[in-house]
Amino acid sequence: MRARLLEIAALGRVAGFVFVAAAIIVTAVRLDPRKAEPAPNATLSAPTDDPLAAELARCQAIGMAAQNDAACATAWAENRRRFFTYRPADGAAPTAAPPALPKSEER
């Protein structure tokens, strides 16, 4: 009777190992990097009407040479100006950043 209980436990253990091994194999096959397709790059494939975006893309493409390019410096300055310009939600004209709040005096 005791030998029969050991056989069931041994079979359960073997079944558990087989299940874990199968899960590992299925995961390895599913996550195979050689079969993974590269994600499409929307920024390079999408045409743009914005000349600033086109100039920034050109500057990115030329790499380190862009540091000495005057057109790239101008494009980056314009990009920073656009980024830091305050645009109210009510549709009013964009303005410079809102004025800073006065600091409260410490007592």
Q: Please indicate, yes or no, whether residues 59 and 26 belong to a single structural domain of this protein.
A: no
Q: Please indicate, yes or no, whether residues 25 and 64 belong to a single structural domain of this protein.
A: no
The DSSP code for 50 is -
- Give CA–CA dist 72/58, Å, rounded: 8
Q: Residues 52-77: pLDDT tens digits?
A: 999 999 999 999 999 999 999 999 99
The stretches in the chain having pLDDT less than 70 are 1-6, 35-48, 91-107
The one-letter amino acid code at 64 reads: M
Number of separate domains in the chain: 2
- Do 94 and 85 contact (CB within 8 A), yes or no? yes
Range of the domain at 12: 1-34
Q: Please indicate, yes or no, whether residues 47 and 87 belong to a single structural domain of this protein.
A: yes
Q: Please indicate, yes or no, whether residues 21 and 62 belong to a single structural domain of this protein.
A: no
The DSSP code for 26 is H
Q: Please indicate, yes or no, whether residues 62 and 26 belong to a single structural domain of this protein.
A: no
The SS3 of residue 25 is helix
Q: Please indicate, yes or no, whether residues 47 and 92 belong to a single structural domain of this protein.
A: yes
Percent helix, percent strand, percent coil in the chain, to nearest 5: 60, 0, 35
